Amino acid sequence: MWSYLAWQARDFVTERGAPLLIVATLMTFPIIVGLRQIRDTASPVQGATSARYAIIQLFAEFSLIAVLIGINGVVSSDRVKGYYRFLFSKPVSIPRYYAQAYAVNGVGLVVTAAGVLGAIYAIGYPLFLSRALLMVGLFYVSLGGMGFLFSTLARFDWVLMGATWGVAQLLRALYPAEQSRGGQVLDVILPPFHQLRDVGLQLARGEAADSTTLLWLLGWGVSSFLLGLIILRRRALAT
Amino acid sequence: MIAFDSVSKTYTSLFRPPVRAVEEFTLTIGRGEIMGLAGPNGAGKSTLISLLLGYLPPTAGRVTIADTAPRPYIERNGIGYLSELVTLNPQWTLEGTLERLAVLAGLPAEVARQRVEAVIEELGIGEHRVKKLKALSKGNLQRLGLAQALLRDEQVLILDEPTHGLDPVWTQRFRDLVQRLRSPDRTMLIASHNLDELERLCDRVAIIDRGRLQRVVDTRRTAGREVAASYYLTVTSGAEHVPAVFPAAAAIGDGQFEVEGGDAPTLNDRLADLIARGALITALVPAHSGLEAQFREAVRSATPDAGGAS
């Protein structure tokens, strides 16, 4: 199964590489243009501060979109298209196959993000903000874990993901945690993705992130991922 | 080796009434046996195969391979499986598909390369190795499906409509291949609409209809045993005498009739009578094989209108 890693990495590149490249180019290009101007005009101290701010803001948006591209259909696509029929007649554990695919896609996203940082460093501003990769990692583990779970459950996992995000936002707005006991309960039950951006920004800036919130986010992602594996073990692939 | 024990499968849906695809299905397939699975469209063949692969759970009953539930068995040993539709990523190349499936099957890199070359050679698909799957014809896709099922020396082979889309030459080669694969340790299940093929290849054929096992035909016993129920008779002259000799004859045209078989002495007497009347017989061919006759009878008896069991 380990030797199949190379094929899964190739699948990541061929199936998700193009959309990631397009998104990365569209989002990064304006930043690079701005950073070149800063490089040419601002003082080194001012320039580094501005560049750091621009890169972190870029990654706050890019991480979200990249994770959605990286996780979408990780399980459901094989089920919908029927590829599983051939793949799993081989001596392969279905949960292990998809756990490995999840890991490969995560590594692929971090490598892609590093490529974006490298491009900024090479042609934008000579600053490689490696901590921004922590933000991508956090987004992938927390949001990607939930995406993995939804992909084991439904054909249109991205719809389910969007709906969950939207419903959580709506319920939090209707029943704020600070105003009622019910709101506090809801706040604990609902996925904590409203905190994702803030904690991600803290990690990218090198600030001390609130450990409870960080663990809450990671816990949701890891628990969702593990639940997805249990579902893969127990639930039939055909419908 | 393979056992279906009182297996039922009902598909349920929130918005549609439940569909009973398989009901109380019991069948045991011995080690080394080649079992055929025949039935009309929608009879439940594909559901049975999905149950056997562990892709569907039975609603009731138990499916086992070597006394083990399907998924644990497959995850430990693997099986050779050809699906009715070869659903693989159309962007993959033929050779790349076989390589990745060989690796997935756990073959060491060097062995995987050798096996890929061997099955490409065996199935005659070498000239298409760099083509993407979306560019392959139905027949070549089917050969690829067969090739991947043969990558490892599996003890269980499940072939769903294996000759679908194959030309006559490759259909014959497939039959030769199955005969070569026959081994006391290997169990094969072949689902097909082609009864002639099942009769040639299989030791027994299970006939299912409406999700129920109607009968199991031992093709080793029925082969060439009896006079066919009806024949296609062709005469170049004396066609006008045929209805007098064969009262139930149905003219097909161009001197061809479908005539009743009966027992062997009666058939021979009638043919002699026909020749004595001046007819010149050029062909006499069984209209239906023994299996086909059993199939028709089994499916007819399963139809409620026919008053049989359903």
Instruction: Tell me the per-residue pLDDT of B144-163, one tens digit each, with 9 for 90 and over.
Output: 999 999 999 899 999 999 88
Predicted confidence (pLDDT) at residue B8 exceeds the cutoff of 90: yes
A85/B75 touch (CB, cutoff 8 Å), yes or no: no
A14/B91 touch (CB, cutoff 8 Å), yes or no: yes
Is A238 touching B (CB cutoff 8 A)? yes
Q: Is B2 helix (H, G, I), strand (E, B) or coil?
A: strand
Is A81 touching B (CB cutoff 8 A)? yes
Q: Tell me the nearest-neighbour CA distance from B156 into chain A, angstroms.
A: 11
- CB < 8 Å to B145, chain A: 86
- Each residue's pLDDT tens digit, B37-66: 999 888 889 999 999 999 999 999 999 999
Predicted confidence (pLDDT) at residue B222 exceeds the cutoff of 80: no
The amino acid occupying position A182 is: G
Predicted confidence (pLDDT) at residue B223 exceeds the cutoff of 60: no
Give whole-number Cα distances, A174 to A5, A112, A187, B3, in Å: 45, 38, 11, 56
The amino acid occupying position A156 is: F
Predicted confidence (pLDDT) at residue A10 exceeds the cutoff of 60: yes
Predicted confidence (pLDDT) at residue B308 exceeds the cutoff of 50: no
Q: Tell me the nearest-neighbour CA distance from A67 into chain B, angstroms.
A: 23
pLDDT, chain B, mean: 88
Provide the percentage of residues in chain A whose pLDDT is more than 70: 100
Rounded distance between C-alpha atoms, residue A149 and residue A7, angstroms: 23
Buried b (16+ CB within 10 A) or exposed e, A56-67: bebbbebbbbbb
Predicted confidence (pLDDT) at residue B287 exceeds the cutoff of 80: no
Rounded distance between C-alpha atoms, residue B39 and residue B194, angstroms: 10
**Mean pLDDT computed over B200-227:** 81
B53/A1 touch (CB, cutoff 8 Å), yes or no: no
Q: Tell me the nearest-neighbour CA distance from A59 into chain B, angstroms.
A: 32
Averaging pLDDT over each range in A102-116, A147-161, A165-179, which range is the top one? A102-116
Closest partner residue to B56 among A4, A91, A236, by Cβ? Answer: A236
Predicted confidence (pLDDT) at residue A1 exceeds the cutoff of 80: no
Give whole-number Cα distances, A237 to A95, A171, B2, B83, in Å: 11, 33, 21, 15
B87/A85 touch (CB, cutoff 8 Å), yes or no: yes
Predicted confidence (pLDDT) at residue A28 exceeds the cutoff of 70: yes
Residue B37: strand pairing partners: B191, B206
A89/B74 touch (CB, cutoff 8 Å), yes or no: yes
CB B216 within 8 A of CB B27: yes
- Each residue's pLDDT tens digit, B99-136: 999 999 999 999 999 999 999 999 999 999 999 999 99
CB-side neighbour CA atoms (13 Å) of B29: 30
Rounded distance between C-alpha atoms, residue A38 and residue A33, angstroms: 9
Rounded distance between C-alpha atoms, residue A41 and residue A26, angstroms: 24
Q: ipTM value, please give it.
A: 0.86
What is the structure's pLDDT at B10? 93
What is the structure's pLDDT at B299? 78
- Sorting pLDDT into bands at 50, 70 and 90, what band is B221? low
Q: Tell me the nearest-neighbour CA distance from A105 into chain B, angstroms.
A: 18
Predicted confidence (pLDDT) at residue B304 exceeds the cutoff of 90: no
pTM attached to this predicted model: 0.84
More confident residue, B131 or A187: B131
What is the structure's pLDDT at B226? 58
Give whole-number Cα distances, A193 to A152, A219, A234, B33, B99, in Å: 20, 12, 28, 57, 41
Provide the percentage of residues in chain B whose pLDDT is more than 90: 60
Averaging pLDDT over each range in A1-15, A90-104, B229-243, B251-265, which range is the top one? A90-104
Is A18 touching B (CB cutoff 8 A)? no
Residue with tokens 């593990």: A226
**Mean pLDDT computed over B163-171:** 87
- Sorting pLDDT into bands at 50, 70 and 90, what band is A41? confident
**Mean pLDDT computed over A77-103:** 94
Could you tell me the strand order of the sheet in which B60-65 lies?
Answer: B19-29, B2-11, B60-65
- Sorting pLDDT into bands at 50, 70 and 90, what band is B248? confident
- Each residue's pLDDT tens digit, A194-208: 889 999 999 988 888
- Sorting pLDDT into bands at 50, 70 and 90, what band is A51? confident
Among B154, B175, B147, CA closest to B163: B175
B103/A4 touch (CB, cutoff 8 Å), yes or no: yes
What is the structure's pLDDT at B306? 46
Among B266, B248, B267, B265, CA closest to B257: B248
With CA atoms as reference, the chain B residue closest to A15 would be: B91
